Structure 1
Amino acid sequence: MGVYKKGINGPFSGKAGSVIGSKWRKVDYMRGISKPTHKPASEAQTAQREKFRILSAFLYPMAKLLKIGYSNEDVRFKTAYNIAFGYNLKWAVVLKDGKWKIDYSRIALSRGSLPKPVEATVEVTPEKKFLVRWSAEIKNSFISPEDKVNLVFYHENTVSHFLSTGCLERREGQALLDPPDIPEPGTWQCFMFYTSPYGDNSQTQYLGEIQTN
């Protein structure tokens, strides 16, 4: 797919011979029509499809959150979701024991210059709530007690997401959250990042995994 400038006949939209014209965010694009093939997928193609599948299942339900987490990126030619997808596809999807898997410790749901959460932990209480703690200490002028806390919990077994965004502030130092009732036991992957009142973000802090019965 390529970007093109208006020719003597101006931009076009739709099919014209072997190409398709379209416009996205006031930019004109043109791409060739893919040819159908009956060849079996190569090993590399199969691997790429599997990587796309597992990462899409994880990231796509969080597309709105990624608009926040990647709000400082250049989104003139790519959406925040596509930028996040490309970054995590490159760094967070790994081959382990012959299978493509997500290395959750490498996941980046946000990018920015705000300092990451410090001393952040998560645990399950006897009442099956999620207790998250973090340092509320203000060490420099880049940190504000009003920084918003964004929390993400991902239940691997059921591919379910539980988010808390913009409701908590750094100065609170902890949060007790009531997760959705998922009858199936399993592993939750947990993440946290800050968003400042001025729109900057911290990098994502992986809090580790917790088990629920």
Structure 2
Amino acid sequence: MAIQENGPNGLFKGKVGSIYGYELNGQNIIRGARNSNRKPPTEAMLMNQQKMKVANNFIGPIKALLQYGYRHLAPKGSRIGPFQLAQRHILKETMELDADCQYYVNVEKLFIFRGPLAPPVGCSVDKQGSTLHLKWGVMPHYADKIYKMNFAFFNMKDFIQLEIGPTEVSQGFCTIPLIGHFDVGIPIHVYFGIWDSYHDLLSDSVYCGIVE
């Protein structure tokens, strides 16, 4: 059944016979029924399907981190949100093929945080027990106390942790305990970023490596 809104010249929504009507991005669309594609998928189509599957499987467990890190990039009123922007970044900028022609996400190219601030430099991390010892270079233009560090940690199983502003950039080091359950021996990926706590601006994240 279809619904005709605002008289004969109004928006037509629904199905009449083989015709569909709907609204898309503020425009009234009328189209015919799509024909089913009975052709077998090409190699390129199969590779693209694999790429999408790998990307979505990777994104799922760290969605909360990406929602935070990309929250300011989506234009107001846009149907594209932080998750879609992160997905686009992963698909276009981080996907690579291994020796067996299988897609994987290169975590060194991944941005957990995105923003206009200059990213941190000289980052390093060391793990002692369940505590991370984090260091970074002190930058003169981040001397004000409004500039703080953000950290993101995750493994490829079931562990994520986000630390927002635990210390000022000017300090150059801090220690953070790992919280929750994580399996020893499964690498934890570590990312650094800078946060302007007054204007709520971020830098792009920097991949610092892994700890086990």
TM-score (norm 2): 0.76
Q: Displacement, 1:94?
A: 0.6
Structure 1: unaligned runs, 5 residues or longer: 1-5
Distance in 2, Cα, partners of 1:188 & 1:70: 21
Identify if the C-alpha distance between structure 1 residues 113 and 36 changes in structure 2 by more than 3 Å, giving closer, same or farther.
Answer: same
Match of 1:84 among 74, 86, 104: 86
- RMSD in angstroms over aligned alpha carbons? 3.1
Report the equivalent of 1:73. Answer: 73
Higher CA-based Rg: 2
Per-residue deviation, 1:57: 2.2
Alpha-carbon separation, structure 1, partners of 2:136 and 2:30:
48
Offset at 1:88? 1.9
Secondary structure of the residue aligned to 1:186 is coil
Query: What are the within-5 Å matches in structure 2 for residues 1-20 of structure 1?
Result: 8-10=9-11, 14-15=14-15, 17-19=18-20
Q: Aligned residues, how many? A: 198
Alignment of 1:45-60 (within 5 A): 45-60=45-60
The question of whether the paired residues in 2 share the 8 Å contact of 1:138 and 1:144 is answered with: no
**Cα distance in 2 for residues equivalent to 1:150 and 1:13:** 47
Q: In structure 1, the residue corresponding to 2:204 is in which secondary structure?
A: coil
Q: Counterpart of 1:169? A: 167
* Aligned residue type for 2:41: A
* Distance in 2, Cα, partners of 1:177 & 1:145: 23
**Contact 1:13/1:23, CA 8 A, preserved across alignment:** no
Paired position in structure 2 for 1:3: none
Instruction: Tell me the equivalent position of 1:149.
Output: 149
Q: For 2:21 and 2:44, locate their aligned partners in 1 and report how far apart those are by CA, in whole Å.
A: 27
C-alpha contact (below 8 Å) 2:125/2:134 kept by paired residues = yes
* TM-fit CA distance, 1:155: 1.5
Report the AA paired with residue 134 of structure 1: W
2:126 pairs with one of 123, 129, 137: 123
User: When the two structures are superposed, what TM-score results if normalisation uses the length of structure 1?
Assistant: 0.75
Identical columns (%): 16
2:193 alignment counterpart: 193
1:94 corresponds to which residue?
Answer: 96
Q: Note closer, same or farther for the CA distance 1:205–1:43 as it changes in structure 2 (3 Å cut).
A: same
> In structure 2, what is the Cα distance between the partners aligned to 1:79 and 1:64?
13
Q: Does 1:107 align with 2:110?
A: yes
Distance 1:49 1:73, change over 3 A: same
